[in-house]
Structure 1
Amino acid sequence: MFISLNLTSTTNALFISQAKIKTSIEAGPGFDYSTLSFTNASYDSNEIYAYIQNVGPGDMTLNSTYYVYYSPNGNPVGPHGETGELVFCEGVIPKMAANGAPIKITYTPLKKGFYMFVAFQNHEKLIGNELLIEGSPVTVSKKINVNK
């Protein structure tokens, strides 16, 4: 006689996978003791321009940016940081030494009205008569009248 046994067994496998995630947080440079300030702003027959200088006691450790705001009549940037139409937001202010020579920044306006340059500071808290725009301290040029 033949006996047929059918043995079944269950095999369980347990796979444990551990992923090691390497995280690094880089803190940006702290306040570099630079302070940007406009020294002059005007319009010639083709473009508006402003001169900006680092008047702070420290060199800039990073480039900064500048915007140009427009208003057909009135202030493109108000005394509490309210803004008109943003017409340019790609300007780069290169790193400047403390109390170095001013640099010229420019924009070619497309229509009549008033314009202002806005330069973003490399620090997080307001100093002096700075304004907050987009949550960052800025300095603004004087209002430039374009009568094309």
Structure 2
Amino acid sequence: MEKEKVLEIEFKQVWDKWAWRFIKNDTTEIEYHSTDKTNILSIINGILFAIIGDNKKNINEFDMLNDYSKTKLEEFVNEINEKYGIPKRWKPEINKRYYVIDEFLEVASRINYNINFTKRNYIAANCFETREEAEVYAEKFRKILAEREVNKNE
């Protein structure tokens, strides 16, 4: 299944170096580390920490990269997206209506104001294009919970 990237970096060549910048960084709830003998790359709460090759300091978006550092950063971004990428599914457009299943397993209507609430619903696969589709899944959840066995030790 194709995944939506959580981290994207754009590169532009300037003579023999590479300028770079984040164009997408949805990694605020991720902590990931990748190290080998000469490289340390980490992302913690959306902040990149990278010491690559002979550099003795953390790189940032103001630093130009050589080919080796660019390749290592690209590999790291690919690792992040492979591990934390979100499966692609229908996503409501900004300022458009969508439907969710609420905490009472009822279908509710929402508007996508492009805030964390909508992002969390999307990540949880709780964004439906129609009320009817949401009702189908709400009914499945109700059946699953109704058939749940009670713990005999309680």
* Category of TM-score, reference length = shorter chain: under 0.3
Pick the structure with more strand per residue.
1
- Give the greater-gyration-radius structure (CA): 1
Q: Compute the TM-score of the two structures, normalised by the length of structure 1.
A: 0.28
Higher RCO, Cα 8 Å, sep 6+: 1
Q: Compute the TM-score of the two structures, normalised by the length of structure 2.
A: 0.27
